[in-house]
Structure 1
Amino acid sequence: MTDTSKVKPPLRSHSIRVLMTVVAAVFALLAASAAPAQASHSGDFAGGPPDNATHYVENINLTGYASQATTHGIVQIDRSVMNATYADGPEIDVHVHDAYYGRSGSWAGMAGYANCQEDEWWWDGDCNVYRVRYNLSYAASYSWARWQSLGCHELGHTTGLAHRSAANDTDNNSCMRSTVLASRPRFDSHDIDAINALF
């Protein structure tokens, strides 16, 4: 009878276990080195954090309130360690558009949308160039105060902020709530701290 407790496993089986251990270690290392997840918010914004603390924003023929709301969003970003300003040329970080995108499909209930342009992701998950779109199918009828909230909200996404919820915005004063209301036109202190923590 053979004593199986002293029999070494085949080399192939051992090599597979070693390879699996190495792969797991690499994934753990990548997860540990990733940028902070959506600036401590709920994590439901897929655009990722910006690649640096400077935002050059391009106003692409925006209508009146859309242009003013974008300026308001820039002012909110400038309250943090980030620096945002209007610019044009090849170094744009945020392209801002407005149009009547409709009320159906992916635009159902959406007054605005911010995302990282698909070909502008860095290898580490940071976003190089964002696109912000205001949907005039809803927003054209908004008051100026509600436009301020919309501009703050969509430009906020370009800083890496995700949506806030009632549970983590108990004083109900952040423009990063998923519902855009005139009563929430600014970043609150939690939003500012979350942006600052990224840099």
Structure 2
Amino acid sequence: MLTVLSVAAVVTGVGGQPAGANPFGSTACVDPAGAVPLNCVNLANNNDHAMNYVNLDQTTQAIPGMGAAMTAAISDLNGTDLHAYRDENDSLPDVWVHDYNYGALDGITAWVVCPSDNTGEGGSNPNRWCRGQDLNFNVYYWVSDNGFYDTAAQRQNIACHELGHTVGLQHRTDTRASCMWTYAGDGGASRYDAHDRGHVNSRY
């Protein structure tokens, strides 16, 4: 989840391989702002990770450039042992990606959740997996001109960050060199670093 303000994060080790105190693994779905949306990290059920990007409300303007940002994030994830791809014809994808104006939501710009209508789930934290996750980009923070989603770098950072949550990557506080850096629009990278890749490769 990315927010305008800070959110809870996990302190990590550094380096290319998973650390002892690591930011990887599923988390409980919690309500970080006292209202919907819920937010959680889940694992993928295998190393074949399909995304179907839809606009929930065709009357709501989608965020310009988010499709390209999502494609770039998927390409970067493909530098790991995962095979990630977009398929808008897949009616049972691993991840549904949505643009929608959800409103202010206490600064929540984007989040991931395993919804009740998922198409499969199993295991327990930190190894809980979910098929049919929802990845949500909040159009409100583009149309309200709050400084998020405004540049290609911001959009790529947010897409990379949220996609990471769908495969088990949690927040990072040790480096801005990873798109999993906790704070939205605060200089985080638009790519996964070697530490993130180490976690993904170890799992998948």
Task: Give the TM-score normalised by the residue count of structure 1.
Answer: 0.70
Kindly provide the amino acid, as one letter, of the partner of residue 121 in structure 2.
Answer: W
Partners of 1:42 and 1:164 in 2: CA distance: 10
Q: Higher helix fraction: Structure 1 or Structure 2?
A: 1
Find the counterpart in structure 2 of residue 156 from structure 1. Answer: 164
For the structure 1 residues 186 and 44, does the alpha-carbon distance in structure 2 shift closer, same or farther, using more than 3 Å as the test? Answer: same
Equivalent pair of 2:74/2:84 in contact (CA under 8 Å): yes
Which 4+ residue blocks in structure 1 deviate beyond 6 angstroms? none
Shift in Å, 1:81:
0.6
Partners of 1:139 and 1:83 in 2: CA distance: 30
Give runs of aligned pairs for residues 34-53 of structure 1, distance below 5 A.
40-41=22-23, 45=27, 46-53=40-47
Partners of 2:43 and 2:25 in 1: CA distance: 11
* The structure with more radius of gyration: 1
Give runs of aligned pairs for residues 57-68 of structure 1, distance below 5 A.
57-61=51-55, 62-68=62-68
Equivalences, count: 155
For the structure 1 residues 128 and 43, does the alpha-carbon distance in structure 2 shift closer, same or farther, using more than 3 Å as the test? Answer: closer
**RMSD, matched Cα:** 2.3
Shift in Å, 1:108:
1.1
Task: Give the TM-score normalised by the residue count of structure 2.
Answer: 0.68
Equivalent pair of 1:70/1:152 in contact (CA under 8 Å): yes
Partners of 2:44 and 2:24 in 1: CA distance: 17
Give runs of aligned pairs for residues 66-85 of structure 1, distance below 5 A.
66-85=66-85
Partners of 2:42 and 2:153 in 1: CA distance: 27
Find the counterpart in structure 1 of residue 183 from structure 2. Answer: 179
Equivalent pair of 1:42/1:164 in contact (CA under 8 Å): no
Equivalent pair of 2:41/2:169 in contact (CA under 8 Å): no
Determine which structure has greater relative contact order: mean sequence separation of CA pairs < 8 Å that are 6+ residues apart, divided by chain length: 2
What is the CA deviation profile of residues 72-92 of structure 1, one whole-angstrom value per residue up to 9, with x for unaligned ones?
A: 221121111101111122331
Q: Which runs of 5+ in 1 are unaligned?
A: 1-35
SS in 1 for 2:122: coil
Find the counterpart in structure 2 of residue 132 from structure 1. Answer: 135
1:147 aligned onto 2:152: no
For the structure 1 residues 68 and 118, does the alpha-carbon distance in structure 2 shift closer, same or farther, using more than 3 Å as the test? Answer: same
Equivalent pair of 2:26/2:41 in contact (CA under 8 Å): no
Shift in Å, 1:134:
0.5
Shift in Å, 1:43:
5.9
Q: Higher strand fraction: Structure 1 or Structure 2?
A: 2
Shift in Å, 1:118:
2.6
Shift in Å, 1:144:
1.1
Kindly provide the amino acid, as one letter, of the partner of residue 43 in structure 2.
Answer: P
Partners of 2:116 and 2:101 in 1: CA distance: 22
SS in 2 for 1:71: helix
